[in-house]
Amino acid sequence: ASGDQHELLLSLNRDLLSSLARQEGLPNPSVHVALRLSSHHNLAYESQYLNRLKTELHSHIQRYRNARLRSAWARWSLTPSASPQLSLQQPGGDGAPGPLHPGAEVLLLRPEHRQLRRGRAQGSLLAHLRRQLEQEKEHLTFSHRPLTNFYQYSLGVLALCVNGVRVNNHVANKLIKAAQHERFKHGDVDSVDTYAVAGVALQCVKNAGFHVHGAAEWDAALAKIKQKLLAARGANGHIGNEFSTGQAVQALLAMGSPESEYTAAMEAMRTSVRCNFTTTPWPCLRFSQPCT
């Protein structure tokens, strides 16, 4: 990296570290991921922050899950003809904030997976995630939509894959079908974020060798995802918008795209980071350089 790039990276790192002291409320998982991706580390701060995530955030998630289960049981008890499975749907459709998705939680804790797997915490999270994906898959069979959304569904598949857990063929196939039928939408518009995460998830499962049947269909789904991402490139270099570009570049990299297909997007990210455009810190630490 040039001297200017090095100084910018150090400045971003200092900003992130100083934000830890000012942060109110629950810790932010994106901050921890950004710190871990950086080439500059303060291990004491990072360890302290990870402990907060594993205690405060995990406790908050568990309380939320328990409250949701109690609420679902109460609703089901009052209306026996209703489906209890539908009552377990996580919020999101009404715009209300929900808890950290189990897939995100598993990905967040993955740097410590060797230690966690020896205990019950990681096994419990992975088991919960597998059960949730099965519920999502069953709901997809009848409604063509997951209980949450396809972004969270893809995130769950990715979380299992990167932790070396075999992904059920039927679970992966639902994602393949959704990609082929272009169901990754935000309203009437293609969701670039969802296509990106789905692409990384499917490529991960393919590379892991978990899925042995339907190679042509699998490749067709990945080709469709890549086509959608490339079609979303704008004149300003972004893929979709400033906030989806980082994930789109990660997907193109994972799918083995030639550098020429994402060079403009990386340049746009560098500009956005320098000008304080992005809200997710992790792309900044990989691709940042000064504005010109």
DSSP string for residues in 51-63: HHIIIIIHHHHHH
Residue 48 is predicted with a pLDDT of: 83
Q: What is the mean pLDDT of residues 27-43?
A: 74
Choose between 137 and 106: higher pLDDT.
Answer: 137
Position 70 pLDDT exceeds 50:
no
Q: Where is pLDDT greater, at 14 or 260?
A: 260
Q: Flag whether 190 is marked binding.
A: no
Q: Is the pLDDT of residue 136 over 50?
A: yes
Known binding residue 278? Answer is: no
- Judge whether 148 is annotated as a binding position: yes
Residue 18, both tokens:
């100083």
The full set of domains in the chain, from first to last, is 149-291 (1.50.10.20)
Q: What is the pLDDT of residues 6-29, one digit of tens each?
A: 776 777 777 777 777 776 777 777
Q: Is 150 annotated as a binding residue?
A: yes
Percentage of residues in the chain having pLDDT higher than 70: 65
109 pLDDT above the threshold of 70: no
Mean pLDDT of 260-265: 92
Q: Apex CA 142: angle with CA 123 and CA 85, to 5°?
A: 50
pLDDT at 175 over 70: yes
| Nearest Cα to Cα of residue 261 among 292, 220, 219, 231 | 231
Q: Is 241 annotated as a binding residue?
A: yes
